[in-house]
Structure 1
Amino acid sequence: MSKHTSTHIDPALVAGNRRTMAGYAAQHFAWTCDKGVATITLNRPERKNPLTFESYAELRDVFAQLRYATDVHAVVLQGAGGNFCSGGDVHEIIGPLMQLAMPELLMFTRMTGDLVKNMRACPQPVIAAIDGICAGAGAIMAMASDLRLGTARSKTAFLFNRVGLAGCDMGACAMLPRIIGQGRASEWLLTGRSIGGDEAERSGFFNRVVLPEALSEQAQILAAELASGPTFANGLTKTMLHQEWSMSVDQAIEAEAQTQALCMMTEDFNRAYEAFVAKQKPVFQGN
């Protein structure tokens, strides 16, 4: 037995902090889980996969649950029918919002923000596979993902100002400048114009552009690669990338020192060393 292995874990602790999600039954989108990769497919292709109050809430909740999932190590977020997501459904969200008072409007905007918070807080890398329309809340979900694969024909638009709203939606004014720079983010959020796939890649929003017919496969290959890596360490990398936005350099260096010391206590660190000595490729297990 490894010196790092606990001989006993209280069942109550496990029950409250570990869960499996392969059998999760999604109500408002498609969900699959295979070999550590969960795939969320927004599946209202006849409307270009818009969000509803119900799908917003379920997405918020499923990303919260992923913090405790033991069988999910990477997530692919995609849309059905050649489009990613057209944003909030005009008839099922925008129209009803016109009838709400301020407390309920704030309830809605906080719910949408909580989706982004939970995407950032889950330890699994989230890969957005973006084809066709990626607008409004769809563009925000792409932004909140860790990696973005797109196609040349994709159209990304942070179009809030085109419907009379501010571009500061769901964390956009904090996150988008860190991805593409302040100048580009200002233009995208102030004009709401549509960004083609090649420009999105040049701007750093897309990690790379692939052919539409290869998009889903390439996202799954990337997700499988991440899922087979040192997932505990990868989760801490994601956490530090997010938390260090609000740290000074000295604070970040100290936080990373503590984080790296934690990783040195893992079995994956031992496995990597032993594989190196044996001139083999390490087989990580995420602990």
Structure 2
Amino acid sequence: MKYLSGEASSLAGNHVTLANFQAKHFAYSVTGQVANITLNRPERKNPLTFDSYAELRDLFRQMCFADDIKAIVISGAGENFCSGGDVHEIIGPLTKLDMPGLLRFTQMTGDLVKAMRACPQPVIAAVDGICAGAGAIIAMASDIRFGTVRSKTAFLFTRVGLAGCDMGACAILPRIIGQGRASDLLYSGRSMSGEEAERWGFFNRLVDPESVLGEAQAYAQNLASGPTFAHAMTKKMLHQEWDMGVDQAIDAEAQAQAICMMTNDFHRAYHAFVNKQKPEFEGD
């Protein structure tokens, strides 16, 4: 019995196809149902600009409606992930803006994190080399992080005279590595080594530099072949339950799980188990 219809969602006007999306300010490709986003200015350690911030924000917002994308990998070109906001193209101009202009910028950067957390696809960051400032935030906002021994992650905002509370860092980072460790990084702005990041739980695993992107893509492909509606529900509940008490979270999960039990993937898994076969999930 079919419960969900892709045609119905398309008719409802909440469907886009992103396999052929043409990015202007970073590299973008799709392999299978995995979108690959590559920050692509290796000569400068892949810094962000006003334009790349905005395009990333808009792309992640569209991911909510893209049923042809089941997982996302974000990485940096060359031997670095991202050095943060470009000193000449962002930091310099910011010193000349008035308060309304500054607020529009900081709200835009925060909207990127909101969009990454709100999109249903798991986001896997492949982090090598420098991962600093806004680059560290993008890695933090991802769902899974693969790193290398030579990676250096720094929430360096205090080193340029700013607070460590940028783009949700004070809310999200303590939930990943703990309040004390997050306080250390956000006050000092120091670099966290790859081994330290893995030990503290910021990186899910460490791999060789030449393998980090491939490992992240393989992980993403595995998720993309799984019950992607259920993955989206898991991501949604992981995010929403930050603001819930335990009893409220249990009730919310009961509703979420009942919804998943209505999916075709749940029925496919049952019939495959009965027939001693591996289920083939379709995400509906």
TM-score by length of 1: 0.97
Secondary structure at 1:117 match in 2: helix
Does residue 167 of structure 1 match 2:152? no
The superposition leaves residues 247-282 of structure 1 with CA deviations (integer Å, 9 ceiling, x where unpaired) of 010110000000000000000000000000010110
Alignment of structure 1 residues 1-287 onto 2, 5 Å: 2-5=1-4, 9=8, 12-13=11-12, 16-287=13-284
Amino acid in the other structure paired with 2:49: T
Structure 1 residues 109 and 6: CA distance shift in structure 2, 3 A: closer
Deviation at 1:9, TM superposition (A): 2.7
Deviation at 1:8, TM superposition (A): 6.9
Deviation at 1:70, TM superposition (A): 1.0
Structure 1 residues 286 and 252: CA distance shift in structure 2, 3 A: same
Deviation at 1:82, TM superposition (A): 0.6
Give the fraction of aligned pairs with identical amino acids, expressed as a percent.
Answer: 70
Secondary structure at 2:64 match in 1: helix
Task: For 1:276 and 1:41, locate their aligned partners in 2 and report how far apart those are by CA, in whole Å.
Answer: 39
Secondary structure at 2:125 match in 1: strand
Task: For 1:7 and 1:140, locate their aligned partners in 2 and report how far apart those are by CA, in whole Å.
Answer: 34
Deviation at 1:5, TM superposition (A): 4.5
Structure 1 residues 104 and 71: CA distance shift in structure 2, 3 A: same
Indicate if the aligned counterparts of 2:18 and 2:66 stay in contact, CA closer than 8 A.
Answer: yes
Secondary structure at 1:198 match in 2: helix
Deviation at 1:34, TM superposition (A): 1.5
Secondary structure at 1:68 match in 2: coil
Task: For 1:124 and 1:189, locate their aligned partners in 2 and report how far apart those are by CA, in whole Å.
Answer: 28
Structure 1 residues 116 and 7: CA distance shift in structure 2, 3 A: closer
Q: Over aligned residue pairs, what C-alpha RMSD do you find? A: 1.2
Task: For 2:116 and 2:203, locate their aligned partners in 1 and report how far apart those are by CA, in whole Å.
Answer: 18
Secondary structure at 1:9 match in 2: helix
Residue ranges of structure 2 left out of the alignment (5+ in a row): none
Task: For 1:203 and 1:10, locate their aligned partners in 2 and report how far apart those are by CA, in whole Å.
Answer: 41
Structure 1 residues 149 and 102: CA distance shift in structure 2, 3 A: same
The superposition leaves residues 162-218 of structure 1 with CA deviations (integer Å, 9 ceiling, x where unpaired) of 000000000000000000000000000000000110000000000000000111110
Once superposed, which parts of structure 1, at least 4 consecutive aligned residues long, lie more than 3 Å away?
5-8
The superposition leaves residues 213-268 of structure 1 with CA deviations (integer Å, 9 ceiling, x where unpaired) of 11111011100000001000000000000000000101100000000000000000
Deviation at 1:89, TM superposition (A): 0.1
Secondary structure at 2:28 match in 1: strand
Task: For 2:95 and 2:153, locate their aligned partners in 1 and report how far apart those are by CA, in whole Å.
Answer: 26
Secondary structure at 2:214 match in 1: helix
The superposition leaves residues 3-32 of structure 1 with CA deviations (integer Å, 9 ceiling, x where unpaired) of 52559738641xx21111000000000000
Secondary structure at 2:78 match in 1: coil
The superposition leaves residues 59-112 of structure 1 with CA deviations (integer Å, 9 ceiling, x where unpaired) of 000000000001100000000011000000000000000110000000000000
Structure 1 residues 105 and 266: CA distance shift in structure 2, 3 A: same
TM-score by length of 2: 0.98
Task: For 1:28 and 1:132, locate their aligned partners in 2 and report how far apart those are by CA, in whole Å.
Answer: 21
Count of residues paired in the alignment: 284
